């Protein structure tokens, strides 16, 4: 190691291994040295595992997040102006990922209706969880890559943008994320929270609403862990001066009636037209209310803006501004297969993970970042828990361009839903908790 370095990686590892607390200077050096290549991957892997096993306190996580932000650029939206000439408020939302989670699509234009700018930096899907950019790229002509200047111009003119994050935001996180993925340390709550929040804080938004999913189809499987993650991220946002609120929401059951790319866009447009599945509408409206309140707007009626077409108007302008044609026909899968009910009764279960894996296997998702997704692939759900069905009626329609994928998708869906003749179905709440500072 260079004699110019302030610390030694092995000493840092030992502190966490022995359940000690890293100093601010040690944390700053660790993130900087790893970004520069001074700390080797195997050393950072050991430190990540020590963090997974022994945790971090609030001050450590906050400093770790700040150091990751400092590894790159920070965006600045202070040049955005209201019609009266004041500084325009900004608000963003982040979901920890789920199945059928297309909420960003109707939510961003809905919030923009009320004069709050929405700079939504989104990602692509990996595994069973869908990616917002993959969904939007099923719209002919739409492009995810925007320069900072293009993003600012669109926020000023349209009020909402959904695009890919630039390479300049939190580059330390990109290295750490890839390493965590292959070393069994993805589950470390301090590392999850700092990964998400370093990008969101660097993005420069004034208010942030977090949708922390919990259940079968979510990253967090139990409510206690989901609450801990939500609390940790709210604390990080608060420490960084960002007005942050988290909702903990159910992901045992898929959101809406579609899991895929083009079919989720289609469903989002239905919501923007004043229709769509009740759960998607409920969560979209609730998150919009939270974002607007966090940005200081308390007299808005998001539900009305979905019904009267104002949100659809912003959606059309947002898609057009990024080269897309909001009126174009969306891609349709070449092949389909239907799975039907084997008895009369009430649907009492629909497992989100099973549906997500089936959509992934049909071609809607990717196993590696470089994989190509099929725009039309996915799963349509014809019934959800609480619905009454008759024998022979469709439960799922599987969609793909490659029919050889049907068999493995059907395997994923075996036992994924339950039908009971008695109909003893007790609905669960969609929003399980709200966590604020």
The answer to whether residue 79 is catalytic is no
Q: What is the pTM of this model?
A: 0.93
pLDDT at residue number 15 = 97
- List residues bridging with 244 in a β-sheet: 208
pLDDT per residue of the chain (437 residues) written in tens, 0 to 9: 445 788 999 999 999 999 999 999 999 999 999 999 999 999 999 999 999 999 999 999 999 999 999 999 999 999 999 998 999 999 999 999 899 999 999 999 999 999 999 999 887 766 677 789 999 999 999 999 999 999 999 999 999 999 988 778 889 988 888 888 788 888 899 999 999 999 999 999 999 999 999 999 998 999 999 999 999 999 999 999 999 999 999 999 999 999 999 999 999 999 999 999 999 999 999 999 999 999 999 999 999 999 999 999 999 999 999 999 999 999 999 999 999 999 999 999 999 999 999 999 999 987 776 778 999 999 999 999 999 999 999 999 999 999 999 999 999 999 999 999 876 788 889 999 999 98
Distance CA 112, CA 292 (A): 9
pLDDT reported for residue 187: 84
By DSSP bridging, strand 160-164 and strand 118-122 are parallel
16, 88, 93, 94: the active-site residue: 94
What is the helix (H) or strand (E) element at residue 250, kind and residue range? strand 243-250
What pLDDT score was predicted for residue 120?
92
- Set 71, 195, 216, 268: catalytic member: 195
Q: What is the CATH number of domain 9-55?
A: 1.20.970.10
Q: Residue 119 phi/psi, 5° resolution?
A: -90, 90
Domain ranges of the chain: 9-55, 91-321, 335-420
Backbone Cα Rg of the chain = 22
**CB count, 10 Å around CB of 17?**
16
Do the Cβ atoms of 425 and 348 come closer than 8 Å?
yes
CATH of domain 91-321: 3.40.1030.10
Task: Give Cα 21 to chain centroid, integer Å.
Answer: 31
Asked if the domains at 9-55 and 335-420 fall in one CATH topology, the answer is no
Catalytic residue among 28, 134, 173, 235: 173
Let me know if 382 is a catalytic residue.
Answer: no
Catalytic residue among 102, 174, 180, 380: 180
366 has catalytic annotation: no
The pLDDT assigned to 2 comes to 46
Under 8 Å between Cβ of 261 and 378: yes
Reported CATH class of domain 335-420: alpha beta
Res 423: pLDDT? 66
Beta bridge partners of 209: 93, 245
Residue 340 CA to residue 393 CA, distance in Å, equals 5
For residue 325, the SS3 value is coil
Q: Which residue among the candidates 93, 135, 199, 227 is catalytic per the annotation?
A: 199
Closest Cα partner for 375 from 331, 325, 320, 327?
Answer: 331
Q: Output the CA–CA distances (angstroms, integers) from residue 172 to 64, 287, 296, 369, in the order listed.
A: 11, 30, 32, 18
Query: Helix, strand, coil: what percent of the chain each, to 5?
Result: 45, 15, 40
Residues 318, 287: Cα–Cα separation, whole Å = 19
Tally Cβ neighbours within 10 Å of residue 239: 19
The Cα 323–Cα 319 span in angstroms is 7
Q: Does 128 participate in catalysis according to the annotation?
A: no
Q: Is 195 a catalytic residue?
A: yes
């Amino acid at each position: 190691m260079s004699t110019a370095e302030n610390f030694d990686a092995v000493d840092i590892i030992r502190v966490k291994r022995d359940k000690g607390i890293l100093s601010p200077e040690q944390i700053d050096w660790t993130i900087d040295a790893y970004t520069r290549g001074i700390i080797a991957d195997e050393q950072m892997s050991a430190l990540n595992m020590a963090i997974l096993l022994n945790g971090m306190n609030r001050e450590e996580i906050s400093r770790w997040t700040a150091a990751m932000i400092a590894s790159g650029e920070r965006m600045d939206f202070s040049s955005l102006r209201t019609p009266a000439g004041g500084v325009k408020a900004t608000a963003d939302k982040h979901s920890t990922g789920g199945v059928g989670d297309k909420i960003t699509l109707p939510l961003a234009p809905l919030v923009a209706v009320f004069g709050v700018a929405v700079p939504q930096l989104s990602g692509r899907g990996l595994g069973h969880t869908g990616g917002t950019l993959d969904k939007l790229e099923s719209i002919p002509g739409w492009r995810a890559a925007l320069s900072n200047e293009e993003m600012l111009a669109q926020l000023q003119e349209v009020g909402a943008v959904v695009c890919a994050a630039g390479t300049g935001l939190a580059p330390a996180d990109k290295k750490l994320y890839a390493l965590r993925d292959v070393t069994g340390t993805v589950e470390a709550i301090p590392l999850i929270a700092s990964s998400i929040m370093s990008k969101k804080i660097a993005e420069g938004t004034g208010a942030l609403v977090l949708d922390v999913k919990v259940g079968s189809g979510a990253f967090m499987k139990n409510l206690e862990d989901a609450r801990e993650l939500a609390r940790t991220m709210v604390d990080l946002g608060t420490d960084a001066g960002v007005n942050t609120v988290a909702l903990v929401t159910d992901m045992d059951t898929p959101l809406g009636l579609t899991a895929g790319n083009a079919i989720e866009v289609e469903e989002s447009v239905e919501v923007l037209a004043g229709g769509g599945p009740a759960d998607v509408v409920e969560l979209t409206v609730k998150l919009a209310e939270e974002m607007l309140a966090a940005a200081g707007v308390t007299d808005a009626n998001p539900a009305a803006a979905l019904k009267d077409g104002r949100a659809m108007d912003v959606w059309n302008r947002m898609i057009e501004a990024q080269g897309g044609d909001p009126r174009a026909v969306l891609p349709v899968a070449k092949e389909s297969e239907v799975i039907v009910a084997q008895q009369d009764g009430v649907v009492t279960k629909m497992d989100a993970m099973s549906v997500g894996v089936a959509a992934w296997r049909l071609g809607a998702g990717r196993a590696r970042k470089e994989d190509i997704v099929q725009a039309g692939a996915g799963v349509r759900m014809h019934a959800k828990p609480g619905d009454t069905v008759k024998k022979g009626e469709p439960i799922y329609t599987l969609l793909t361009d490659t029919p050889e994928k049907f068999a493995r998708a059907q395997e994923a869906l075996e036992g994924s839903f339950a039908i009971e003749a008695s109909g003893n179905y007790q609905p669960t709440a969609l929003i399980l908790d709200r966590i604020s500072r």
